[in-house]
Amino acid sequence: DQQVKQNSPSLSVQEGRISILNCDYTNSMFDYFLWYKKYPAEGPTFLISISSIKDKNEDGRFTVFLNKSAKHLSLHIVPSQPGDSAVYFCAASGGGSNYKLTFGKGTLLTVNP
Amino acid sequence: DSGVTQTPKHLITATGQRVTLRCSPRSGDLSVYWYQQSLDQGLQFLIQYYNGEERAKGNILERFSAQQFPDLHSELNLSSLELGDSALYFCASSVDPGGRTRQETQYFGPGTRLLVL
């Protein structure tokens, strides 16, 4: 039962263009969503988060959009840079006092110079 | 650097053995979480400790156990190891102010790569 899904295993974009990474979830109890970036042999690095009471959160080149009715969120990176090449994980938490994160399986982003 | 430290970075051992992984959370964080990342399963939540007490359990095997000490560092003990236990084990921490907000960001350590031969 995969409650957080990232349906694109990989994405390739040109430097300077927009990268859009997508994530869908099924559990309506989720109320906090996060994006992490992961390089090989390192731990996930927190990028940006959004609460379910918002539909957009922006931090520099990174913007996360949340569509609660569609149970869908997306991460936009503008402009994309070669250093953004990594695996991006979508994660969600919520419901009761259990703050565990449920992760998607990740999307490998490659930004070509 | 997230401020979460994990040791050792790499661990190679044999089937049937027992190992201990160690995690020190960020300064001020009360909650520690353990996750396992295997090739086919992605990042899976194992267990959470808050201020020394177990708070939540996920997909943790009975052969695995954890604890959080008074100085808030945590250890994950893996016993009777099997080949399938080979994975990356991550520790994360969060402030977890005990109910003021449930929306916590977890910060991850660099992980311990376990190889069971």
Query: Which residues of chain B approach chain A closer than 8 Å at the C-beta?
Result: 2, 4, 6, 31, 33, 35, 42-45, 48, 55-56, 58, 90, 92, 94, 96, 99, 102-111, 113
Chain A residues with CB inside 8 Å of B112's CB?
none
- Predicted pLDDT at A96: 62
Instruction: Tell me the mean pLDDT in the region A68-93.
Output: 96
Q: State pLDDT tens for residues A28-52.
A: 989 899 999 999 888 999 999 999 9
Return the exposure string of B81-93: e unless at least 16 CB atoms fall within 10 Å of the residue's CB, then b: beeebbbbbbbbb
- Predicted pLDDT at A98: 65
A68: which 2 tokens?
């609660």
The beta strand positions in B25-109, using DSSP E, are 31-38, 42-50, 53-57, 64-68, 74-78, 87-94, 107-108
- Predicted pLDDT at A40: 86
CB A13, CB A111: distance < 8 Å: yes
Asked if the Cβ–Cβ distance from B2 to A42 is below 8 Å, we say no
Asked if the Cβ–Cβ distance from B96 to A99 is below 8 Å, we say yes
Chain A residues with CB inside 8 Å of B26's CB?
none
Instruction: Compare CB distances from A99 to B4, B104, B109 and report the shortest one's residue.
Output: B104
Asked if the Cβ–Cβ distance from A101 to B106 is below 8 Å, we say yes
Chain B residues with CB inside 8 Å of A36's CB?
108
User: From CA B54, how far away is CA B117, in angstroms rounded?
Assistant: 31
- Predicted pLDDT at B104: 78
Instruction: Give 10-residue mean pLDDT values along chain B (117 residues).
Output: 94 97 95 89 88 89 96 97 96 75 83 96
CB A104, CB A9: distance < 8 Å: no
Asked if the Cβ–Cβ distance from B105 to A94 is below 8 Å, we say no
Classify B45 as helix, strand or coil. strand
**Nearest Cα residue in chain B from A39:** B110
Query: In terms of Cα–Cα distance, which of A81, A85, A71 is closest to A31?
Result: A71
CB A34, CB A91: distance < 8 Å: yes
| Minimal C-alpha gap between A48 and chain B (Å) | 9
